Structure 1
Amino acid sequence: MSETCLLNLVVSPEVEDTVTDWLLDQPTVSGFTSHPIAGHGSSEHSMSLAEQVAGRRRQVLFKLHLPCADAADLLAAIKAAFRGSGMHYWMIPVLESGHLG
């Protein structure tokens, strides 16, 4: 069984470039994936009127696959660096991973 984790970060498009640059500067991050996503939920108070009408908010999802200890350390650094950004995160264990030849 793998001792790696998948760290997921959901950020607003306004901070996407800042988060990207910050992650690229971290020595424990060898790479990551990012995707444009639409956030749906009940937090209408934090949505603009246009987002409330559309029923969704544009966001960006970052996915980082790394050793769990590194993911925990990275998450602590993210919490310090991006406090107040509204970033949402979750970390899950990876049961198996690899590359197909």
Structure 2
Amino acid sequence: MNMLLTLIARPDVEEVVIDWLLGRDELSGFTGEAAWGHSRDHGQFNLVEQVTGRQRRAVFHLQIDSTQADPLIAAMRDELSGLGLRYWLVPLLDSGAIE
């Protein structure tokens, strides 16, 4: 079964995450985009972020086989610890190309 792994990263660690993902043999590619993170916990927000209630974030979407999910997340925990990444993993019902 295919899964969709979504990673959320701070902009200051975006390039580190990109380099790490590009170095993974089990990944054929991924999608990245800019996003806003919203939180009630403003402890790490600067003044402008506190007023607006949002912080910039980098989001990565990876389509992976379910057998790859646990090993990949374990590798992230080992090799990307301390970067403050967030993730979620959901079943991917369908995917394909429309050409």
Q: 1:4 and 2:14 equivalent?
A: no
Q: CA RMSD in A?
A: 1.0
In the alignment, what sits opposite 1:75? 73
Q: How many residues in Structure 1 have an aligned counterpart in Structure 2?
A: 99
1:66 corresponds to 2:61 = no
How far 1:64 sits from its partner (Å)?
Answer: 0.2
Among candidates 17, 23, 26, match of residue 15 of structure 2: 17
Q: 1:84 maps to which residue? A: 82
Question: Per-residue deviation at 1:18?
Answer: 0.7
Structure-1 residue corresponding to 2:92: 94
Unaligned runs of 5+ residues in structure 1 are none
1:51 to 31, 49, 52: 49
AA in 2 matched with 1:90: W
Name the TM-score, length of structure 2 as normaliser. Answer: 0.94
SS of residue in 1 equivalent to 2:81: coil
